[in-house]
Amino acid sequence: MTHWPIVKLTQARQVFALMDVDEDDLPPAADDLHARYVSLRRGEAPADALDYIAHALPRQEAVAWAARCLHNHARDRSLPIRDQLALDHAMRWIDEPSDTNRRATHAAAEAAGQRSPERLLGMAVFYSGGSIAPVNASPVLAPPEACLRYAAGAVKASAYRSGTPGTTLTEALTLAEQVAERGVQALAKP
């Protein structure tokens, strides 16, 4: 039985490949995906564990997890309006994942603060699927890892902005584990 039924990858090597680790540095094919995460989680760098689990999750689950993390962090602060709009658009896309909402989220992300976690989240939404070319142009698909990198980056940036990055990263990791186990159902409000 798998620890993470939502995760379609089976080897740590596959996750590290999505993380753009050099082929010479990839772990052996026999390295278990979950065991490697547990090792990273117990290590000294929670951001490494976060990158790993973000790249292990399917794209939609990774974006939904990142959005929930940012939404939770935003409750404790007043965001600049342009960042709040990017977050609101991302949350709308999660509820209604249409191409129109995906592109609207991208526009809001482009208007958000250059270094804001909400901008990164909006980019994760945009790169989650569908063409990244202009509407009437020939379709261009983003590499699947782009979405995952943006999702991980959004969560890390939000954690560091929180003032308590260690605690915030730990909470994000716990939530990501729940998503890996139960999918987006783990994000349902109690």
pLDDT for res 160: 96
Query: Token pair 């983003």 is at which residue?
Result: 142
| 136 contact partners, CB below 8 Å, separation of at least 6 | none
pLDDT for res 76: 80
pLDDT, tens digit, 9 for 90 and up, residues 14-54? 999 999 999 999 999 999 999 999 999 999 999 999 999 99
| Mean per-residue pLDDT, 62-90 | 96
- Model confidence at 2, pLDDT cuts 50, 70, 90, reads low
pLDDT, tens digit, 9 for 90 and up, residues 135-155? 999 999 999 899 999 999 999
CB 98 within 8 A of CB 129: no
Q: Is residue 90 part of a domain?
A: yes
| Residue 71 identity (one-letter amino acid) | H
Q: Which domain holds residue 100?
A: 1-182
| Mean per-residue pLDDT, 69-80 | 92
Q: Is residue 67 part of a domain?
A: yes
| Mean per-residue pLDDT, 102-107 | 98
pLDDT for res 57: 98
Radius of gyration of the chain (CA): 16
Of 46, 42, 38, the residue nearest 159 (C-alpha):
46
Written as six digits, the tokens of 111 are 């208007």
Q: Tell me the C-alpha to C-alpha distance, in Å, between residue 31 and each of 5, 20, 26, 146.
A: 17, 17, 10, 24
Helix or strand or coil: residue 77? Answer: coil
pLDDT for res 134: 95
Answer left, alpha or beta for residue 170, where phi above 0 means left and psi between -120 and 50 means alpha: alpha
pLDDT for res 98: 97
pLDDT, tens digit, 9 for 90 and up, residues 120-134? 999 999 999 999 999
Q: Is residue 93 part of a domain?
A: yes
Burial category of 52 from C-beta neighbours within 10 Å (exposed 0-12, middle 13-18, buried 19 and up): buried
Q: Of 78-92, 111-125, 176-190, which gets the smallest average pLDDT?
A: 176-190
Q: What's the structural domain count of the chain?
A: 1
Q: Is residue 24 part of a domain?
A: yes
Share of the chain above pLDDT 90, in %: 94
Cα 146 off chain centre by: 10
